[in-house]
Amino acid sequence: MTEREFAELLGMCQVMPGPNIVNLSVILGARWRGPAGALLALTGILFIPVFAVLLIATFYASIAHELVAHRAIAAASAAAAGLIIGTAIRLLRGARLPPRGLAVGAAVFVIVGLVQAPLLWVLAVAVPGAILLEWYRSS
């Protein structure tokens, strides 16, 4: 398979519903071995992760009532939040965002993160407001 063929397949998988890698494995399995290949590729890509999650869930069910489990989940949540914030900061450093975009983002962060307003309602107001602001600015 050439790089171009791979890029085309990956692009097609990105617009299809479902995880890209699962879609790609099914397409490649079907391409090389037909329907049986597609089924085997799907089974191969999903079996280990599903088995691992079931194993972890079984283990967690046995210790869910323990305080150490609650603390471990809280620590993992904090680590995940830190990773997301770090990624956002890295992406923002390279972006040249207009100050009004940063202001809208900061306002949404404050309203949702600090005031604890429901995200859906804040986005229902902020997204049309930001679109109108950009439309007004560009005309």
User: What is the tens place of the pLDDT at every residue in 56-86?
Assistant: 999 999 999 999 999 999 999 999 999 999 9
Structure tokens, 82: 């830190």
Structure tokens, 22: 């699962």
Q: What is the per-residue pLDDT for 76?
A: 95
* DSSP-derived secondary structure letter, 65: T
Q: Is the pLDDT of residue 14 over 90?
A: no
Structure tokens, 23: 């879609």
Q: Is the pLDDT of residue 11 over 90?
A: no
Give how far the C-alpha of residue 27 lies from the chain's centroid of Cα atoms, to the nearest Å: 22
Question: Residue 138: which pLDDT band, with cuts at 50, 70 and 90?
Answer: confident
139 or 109: whose pLDDT is higher?
A: 109
2 or 35: whose pLDDT is higher?
A: 35
Contact 12, 31 (CB under 8 A): no
In this prediction the pTM is 0.47
- Helix, strand, coil percentages for the chain (3-state, nearest 5): 85, 0, 15
Q: Is the pLDDT of residue 139 over 90?
A: no
Q: Distances in Å between the alpha carbon of 88 and those of 12, 101, 117? A: 27, 14, 22
User: What is the tens place of the pLDDT at every residue in 80-106?
Assistant: 999 999 998 887 787 777 888 889 989
